[in-house]
Structure 1
Amino acid sequence: MQLVKTGLCAFGMSGKIFHAPFLKEHPGFFLSAVVERSKEDSKEKYPEATIYRSVEEMLEHADIDLVVVNTPVQTHFEYVKMALEAGKNVIVEKPFTVNVSEAEELVRLAEEKGLFLSVYQNRRFDRDYLQVQKIMNEGKLGSIKEAEIRFDRFRTEPSGKAHKENPDATGSGSLHDLGSHLIDQATQYFGFPEKLFADVFSMKGKDFANDYFEIILYYPDELRVRLKSSVFTKEAHYAYAIHGEKGSFLQKRTDNQENELASGAIPEYGKEWTQPIGEPDGILNFLNDNKETERVVTSSEAGNYMNYYQQIYEFIVFGYALPSPAEEIIRNMKIIDAALESSNTEKVVYL
């Protein structure tokens, strides 16, 4: 089996939960290098990985084919560019970059170098996202007319992470952090919108980056899609509300991979490693032969972030489709940039 030697640019939460476990368990990857600037936390679980004290040192000395850039978003442009110029293929955490111009420059560089660049849009592999996709594909709702996708939290106190909460740090705030997930899901479901209107601000006050946003996406055929996030939501809403000409589907956010991984779960290759949910997590109400049919629904497909890395491997070895290629994610960056413009000008922005 072809082995893809991989280097990880950081070993914080992202490295420990979303990347290192999958690189270790997938037989086609070998985690051979990890950047830890002062600690050696990776040694316990990944003793075969050489620790480097900087990304520059890793790129200069490590024998690697693939680099995972999972550092704060403000450093993505610098490190992705550095890796590409060193001749390495790249996976970069979401959000891709802080703005569209940076993203476009990196895509051009990857094309010039003949390298691939993929953005880690892991929420495409969430249980709840896949269930909504399944219900819409079945056609029970008819033509979709309205949809709302939410990602709410109750985090009223500052986290202390400047790269996420400093209002003067470009790319900080919920719009880039959680918005990159919701926007990606909307464009995957419905395509690229014609225009948008957005409200983006900080509920915690002007000393903090945005922690609330609401974006209305305007599509042809009278379709409206609303994306919303707040950190002052103690009681959860349905994460997805899909309304069509024949019915509605409401879906809770029930994917628990992040929590299970944080608790030490091992994402076994080729298996559904997550715990099954214990109760229904959705409501489907639709007209069937003009008769109202309402039922509670349990998500039928377990989410699995391993499938992202499996698709990366299949692209490398077999030439199959690359998951979330960077040139595709530029569309999402355009929506983020337009949402900020709309909120600042209080106007609809055409895309």
Structure 2
Amino acid sequence: MIRVGLIGYGLAGSAFHAPLVAAEPRMRLAAVASSRPDAVRAALPDVAVVADADALVADPSVDLVVVATPNQLHAPLARATLETGKHVVVDKPFVTDPAEGEALIDLARERGRVLSVFHNRRWDGDFLTVEKLVRAGVLGDVMLAEFCWDRFRPDIKRGWREQPGDGAGLLADLGPHLVDQAFRLFGPPQAVRGDVAAQRGQAAVDDWFDLTLFYGRTRVRLSASTLVADPRPRFALHGTKGGFVKYGIDPQEARLRAGGSISAPGFGEDGDDLRGRLTIGDAAPERVPTERGDWRRFYAGVADAILDGAPPPVDPAEALAGLRLLELARRSAAEGRTLPLG
């Protein structure tokens, strides 16, 4: 049994990590460090509430620490945890400075500990559907792929994500997921062109971005906005044999935020009305059932890595490569030009 300590009980800690850890039979959530101890006790009466992160990191009974704090704390808390000889899961984005990510990867290797990054969107049902179609060659050679994540939030939300600082803004929030999905399908590009903006009147950080990744003749566009009331397709891929278009967002987050149970029948299943549309050549479009999403596979992979020596479910080097691309995209936007990857 892997005893897990969770640092942070905001949205990520309470809606994602706590229930997903509880759903993994080889793990037990043993302690939570949070500035909201009453909320933790109300939701998790059998879990110890620790005064602060340092106390949890120092607890010798904890085997794995999950860092689900504001982004600027990811690197120092992960470093402190690895130095005590514990395994670490870091919520995305991995770090705010890629150099810190390199140092953490080296430290985990030196200590022989598992280090992984919570890129749960690899197990979204819509992405699993797209991945299956691309890997099977159903679309032929993909020439254009568009991944869009639209919201309609004209009002500025309170909280650190909307305030200037390391790791704030929409590019830092949604960019890592979109880049990770692009890398899963196409690998690193040859070049990137970025456009990043603050569009809402009172926005203090970026709330819109559009990145173009260059792969020879192929273009991959990654875009997100806070001012799109009628969302674009979440995925649109067009290849030499045909295309696939899918609307809607994977339902797992909404159901977890609403207090839904991971073990409930149908969890992770998309509605039939949201099936993607596949068009091959001149044939009539057909609706494709969405693969079942399953974020539980992340912590199952973490348990495999700790107990059986399997590779981590998300290699931190892959997460770091994505952050380097986002750093280059931000520079591209500032300079107004396309930049090659080093």
Return the TM-score normalized by structure 1.
0.93
Aligned residue number for residue 286 of structure 2: 295
Say yes or no: does 1:342 pair with 2:342: no
Aligned residue number for residue 163 of structure 2: 166
In 1: Cα distance, 2:105 partner to 2:42 partner: 36
Deviations 1:269-309 (A, max 9, x none): 9x75345514242111112xxx534212231x210111111
Structure 1 runs (4+) greater than 4 angstroms displaced: none
The question of whether the paired residues in 2 share the 8 Å contact of 1:33 and 1:62 is answered with: no
**Tell me, what secondary structure is at the counterpart of 1:87?**
coil
**Tell me, what secondary structure is at the counterpart of 1:157?**
coil
Say yes or no: does 1:32 pair with 2:23: no
Q: 1:6 to 1:132 in 2, by over 3 A?
A: same
In 1: Cα distance, 2:174 partner to 2:54 partner: 29
Q: 1:280 to 1:52 in 2, by over 3 A?
A: closer
Q: 1:45 to 1:95 in 2, by over 3 A?
A: same
2:247 to 252, 261, 271: 252
Q: Tell me how large the CA RMSD over aligned residues is.
A: 1.7
**Tell me, what secondary structure is at the counterpart of 2:219?**
strand
In 1: Cα distance, 2:100 partner to 2:70 partner: 15
**Tell me, what secondary structure is at the counterpart of 1:200?**
strand
In 1: Cα distance, 2:323 partner to 2:156 partner: 26
Alignment of 1:111-150 (within 5 A): 111-150=109-148
In 1: Cα distance, 2:134 partner to 2:113 partner: 35
In 1: Cα distance, 2:276 partner to 2:18 partner: 32
The question of whether the paired residues in 2 share the 8 Å contact of 1:279 and 1:298 is answered with: no
Alignment of 1:236-247 (within 5 A): 236-247=231-242
**Tell me, what secondary structure is at the counterpart of 2:116?**
strand
Deviations 1:18-63 (A, max 9, x none): 1111212221001001012352222234223211121101122351
Deviations 1:316-338 (A, max 9, x none): 22222311111121110111110
Say yes or no: does 1:286 pair with 2:280: yes
Say yes or no: does 1:321 pair with 2:327: no
In 2: Cα distance, 1:140 partner to 1:276 partner: 21
Say yes or no: does 1:277 pair with 2:274: no
Deviations 1:181-202 (A, max 9, x none): 1001000110001110100110
Residues matched between the structures, number: 341
In 1: Cα distance, 2:268 partner to 2:114 partner: 30
The question of whether the paired residues in 1 share the 8 Å contact of 2:250 and 2:270 is answered with: no
Deviations 1:110-133 (A, max 9, x none): 112211210000011111111111
In 1: Cα distance, 2:271 partner to 2:242 partner: 25
2:5 to 4, 7, 11: 7
**Deviation, structure 1 residue 89:** 0.7
The question of whether the paired residues in 1 share the 8 Å contact of 2:193 and 2:213 is answered with: yes
Say yes or no: does 1:197 pair with 2:188: no
Deviations 1:63-85 (A, max 9, x none): 11100000010111111111111
Q: 1:238 to 1:38 in 2, by over 3 A?
A: closer
Which runs of 5 or more residues in structure 2 are unaligned? none
In 2: Cα distance, 1:273 partner to 1:343 partner: 39
In 1: Cα distance, 2:258 partner to 2:49 partner: 24
Aligned residue number for residue 208 of structure 2: 212
Aligned residue number for residue 308 of structure 1: 298
In 2: Cα distance, 1:59 partner to 1:316 partner: 18
**Residue identity opposite 1:257 in structure 2:** Q
In 2: Cα distance, 1:37 partner to 1:229 partner: 31
Which runs of 5 or more residues in structure 1 are unaligned? none
**Tell me, what secondary structure is at the counterpart of 2:285?**
strand
**Residue identity opposite 1:8 in structure 2:** L
In 1: Cα distance, 2:318 partner to 2:122 partner: 14
Deviations 1:211-259 (A, max 9, x none): 0101000113x11101001100000111111010111110123411111
In 2: Cα distance, 1:6 partner to 1:236 partner: 38
In 1: Cα distance, 2:140 partner to 2:194 partner: 28
**Tell me, what secondary structure is at the counterpart of 1:150?**
strand
Aligned residue number for residue 74 of structure 1: 72
**Deviation, structure 1 residue 107:** 1.1
In 2: Cα distance, 1:100 partner to 1:313 partner: 26
In 1: Cα distance, 2:223 partner to 2:309 partner: 37
The question of whether the paired residues in 1 share the 8 Å contact of 2:170 and 2:207 is answered with: yes
1:228 to 211, 223, 230: 223
In 2: Cα distance, 1:142 partner to 1:106 partner: 39
In 1: Cα distance, 2:198 partner to 2:181 partner: 23
Return the TM-score normalized by structure 2.
0.95
User: Aligned residues: percent identity?
Assistant: 32
